[in-house]
Copies of this chain bind each other. A is one copy, B any other.
Amino acid sequence: MAYRETEKMRKRKAEARQRIVSCAYQCVAENGFRSARVTTIAAMAGVATGTIYRHFESKEDLFAEIFRLATQREVDKVAEALASHGDATVRLEAALRQFAERALRGPVMAWSLIAEPVDPKVEEERLAYRQAYAELFEQAISEGMEEGCIPEQDARQSSTCLVGAIAESLVGPLSPAQINSRAEPRNDNYEPLVNSILRFCIQGLTGTRR
C-alpha cells in the first residue's frame, strides 16, 4: 500500500473547505445569494471550480450551509440577549432590539436571510431559522407567564407574531432599493424605528403601554 489519509491532509482539506465557506459567506454578505456564482467563489478562494464540488454536493448545499452559519450567529446573539437579567418582558425587549439593530447594521445579509428569494433547500433552512427564533421567544414568553409579567396566551403563536412583525417592519428598510440609495457614510439613527416596532410588540404581548 502507499497512500493513506493523514492528519496533514485532513487539515489542509479542512482549510480549503473553510476558505470556500468564508468566500461564499463574503459574496452573500455583499450581494446576496442570487448573484453569488460558483465560479466567482472558487476564484476568490483560490481553487478551481471543480474543487467546490469535492466539498459540497451542489451549490444549493453550499448555500444552505452559508445560510445556517449566518443564522446561527444571529440566533446566538438573540439567545444571549434573552439570557440577560431582568424580568421576561425586559429580556424579550432586549432580544427584539438586538434582532432589529443587527439587521439594520448588516442589511444585505439580513435581507438575504429574511426576504431574498432563494432556492428550495435554502428556503428550508429559512423555515428552520424562523422556527429557531420562534422557539427562543416562546420559551421567554412562557417564563414571563410564570413570572406573572405576561398574561396567559398561546406562547408559540405570540412568538410567531413577534417574528413576523419585526421581519415585516424591516423588509422595507432592508430592501436593496433602500440600501443602495442611502448615502455613505451610513450613520442612520435606527432608534425611532426600532422603538416604534418594539412598542407594538411589547404591547401585543403584555397589553400594556409604556
Binding site for B on A (CB under 8 A): 117-119, 123, 127, 130, 151, 153-154, 157-158, 160-169, 171-172, 175, 193, 196-197, 199-201, 203-205, 207-209
> Given A157-B200, A161-B201, A201-B204: A168 and B169 within 8 A (CB)?
no
Query: Which residue on chain B has the smallest CB distance to residue A127?
Result: B175
CA–CA, A123 and B116, complex, Å: 9
Q: Which residues of B contact A151 (CB under 8 A)?
A: 209
Main SS of chain A's interface residues? helix
Q: Shortest 10 CB-CB distances between A and B: which pairs?
A: A164-B168, A204-B204, A117-B117, A161-B165, A164-B164, A161-B200, A157-B196, A164-B165, A200-B204, A165-B165
> Given A164-B168, A164-B169, A204-B203: A196 and B154 within 8 A (CB)?
yes
Query: Which residue on chain B has the smallest CB distance to residue A151?
Result: B209
**Given B130, B162, B172, which contacts A160 in the complex, CB threshold below 8 Å?**
B172
CA–CA, A61 and B204, complex, Å: 39
Contact A165 B209 (CB under 8 A): no
Contact B117 A197 (CB under 8 A): no
Contact B165 A204 (CB under 8 A): yes
Contact A160 B169 (CB under 8 A): yes
Q: Which residues of B contact A161 (CB under 8 A)?
A: 165, 168-169, 197, 200-201, 204
CA–CA, A183 and B24, complex, Å: 41
**Given B166, B196, B199, B207, which contacts A164 in the complex, CB threshold below 8 Å?**
B166
> Given A200-B158, A200-B204: A168 and B175 within 8 A (CB)?
no
CA–CA, A157 and B163, complex, Å: 15
